[in-house]
Amino acid sequence: MTALANSAGENPRPHQALAHGRVDAMAALRDAGITAAIAFGLFLPLIGFQTTVNGENALILITRWPLLLAVVAAVGIGRLGYSVLLEPRLRQRAMRPIATTPSALRTFVGQWFVPFGIAFVAAYPALVLATVGFSRSVKWIDNFGIQILIYVMLGWGLNIVVGLAGLLDLGYVAFYAVGAYSYALLAKTLDLSFWVLLPISGILASFWGILLGFPVLRLRGDYLAIVTLAFGEIIRLVIINFTALTNGYAGIGGIPRPSFFGIPFNADDNGFAAVFGLPFSPVYRVIFLYYVILALALLTAFVTVRLRRLPVGRAWEALREDEIACRSLGINTTNTKLTAFAMGAMFAGFAGSFFATRQGFISPESFTFLESATILSIVVLGGMGSQVGVAIAAIVMIGGTEIMRDLDFLKKIFGQTFDPTQYRMLIFGFAMVLIMVWRPRGLISTRAPSVVLKERKSISADLVKEGHG
Partner 1 sequence: MTEKNESSAAETLLRVEHLTMRFGGLLAIDDLSFDVGEGAITALIGPNGAGKTTVFNCITGFYKPSSGRLALRHGDGTVWNELAMLTDSGARSVTTGNGALFLLERMPDYLVAQRARVARTFQNIRLFPGMTVLENLLVAQHNRLMLASGYTLLGVLGFPSYAHAERSAIDKARDWLDRIGLAARADDPAGDLPYGAQRRLEIARAMCTDPVLLCLDEPAAGLNPRESAELNALLLAIRDEFRIAVLLIEHDMTVVMEISDHIVVLDYGVKIADGVPDAVRNDDKVIAAYLGVAEDQVGEAEAEVGL
- The reply to whether 97 sits near partner 1 by the rule CB under 8 A is no
Label residue 10 exposed, middle or buried (CB < 10 Å: 0-12, 13-18, 19+): exposed
**Largest interatomic CA distance in the chain:** 94
Contact between 303 and partner 1 by CB under 8 A: the answer reads: yes
DSSP 8-state code for residue 23: -
Residue 401 binds to partner 1 (criterion: CB under 8 A): no
Pick from 162, 217, 307, 396 the residue near partner 1 by CB under 8 A: 307
Q: Among positive and negative, which fits the CA dihedral 343, 345, 351, 357? A: negative
Q: Is 413 in the site for partner 1 (CB under 8 A)?
A: no
Interface with partner 1 in residues 332-351 (CB under 8 A): 332-333, 339
Q: Distance between CA atoms of 400 and 147, rounded to whole angstroms?
A: 11
For residues 41 and 240, what is the distance between their CA atoms, to the nearest angstrom?
41
By CB under 8 A, residue 102 contacts partner 1: no
Of the pair 330, 415, the CB lying nearest partner 1 is at 330
Asked whether 217 and 338 are in contact (CB, 8 A), the reply is yes
| Cα radius of gyration rounded to whole Å, the chain | 26
**Could you tell me how many residues of this chain bind partner 1 (CB under 8 A)?**
39
Q: Closer to partner 1 at the Cβ: 263 or 312?
A: 312
Q: Toward partner 1, which CB reaches closer, 256 or 313?
A: 313
The footprint of partner 1 on residues 312-331 (CB under 8 A) is: 312, 314-315, 317-318, 320-322, 324-331
Residues 368-387 that bind partner 1 (CB under 8 A): none
Q: List Cβ neighbours of 416 (8 Å cut-off, separation of 6 or more).
A: none
Q: Does 131 bind partner 1 (CB under 8 A)?
A: no
Question: What stretch of H or E contains 271?
Answer: none
Q: How far is CA 305 from the centre of its chain?
A: 19
Which secondary-structure segment (H or E) carries 467?
none
User: Which strand (E) or helix (H) includes residue 89?
Assistant: helix 87-95
Q: Write down the least CB distance from residue 422 to partner 1, Å.
A: 41
**59 touches partner 1 (CB under 8 A):** no
- The values of phi and psi at residue 79, to 5°, are -65, -40
Q: What angle do CA 237, 240, 246 make, to 5 degrees?
A: 125
Q: Which of 13, 93, 412, 456 binds partner 1 (CB under 8 A)?
A: 456
Site for partner 1 in 237-256 (CB under 8 A): none
Report if residue 457 touches partner 1, rule: CB under 8 A.
Answer: yes
Q: Which is nearer to partner 1, 236 or 320 (CB)?
A: 320
Interacting residues toward partner 1 by CB under 8 A: 303, 306-307, 310-312, 314-315, 317-318, 320-322, 324-333, 339, 447, 449-457, 459-460, 463-465
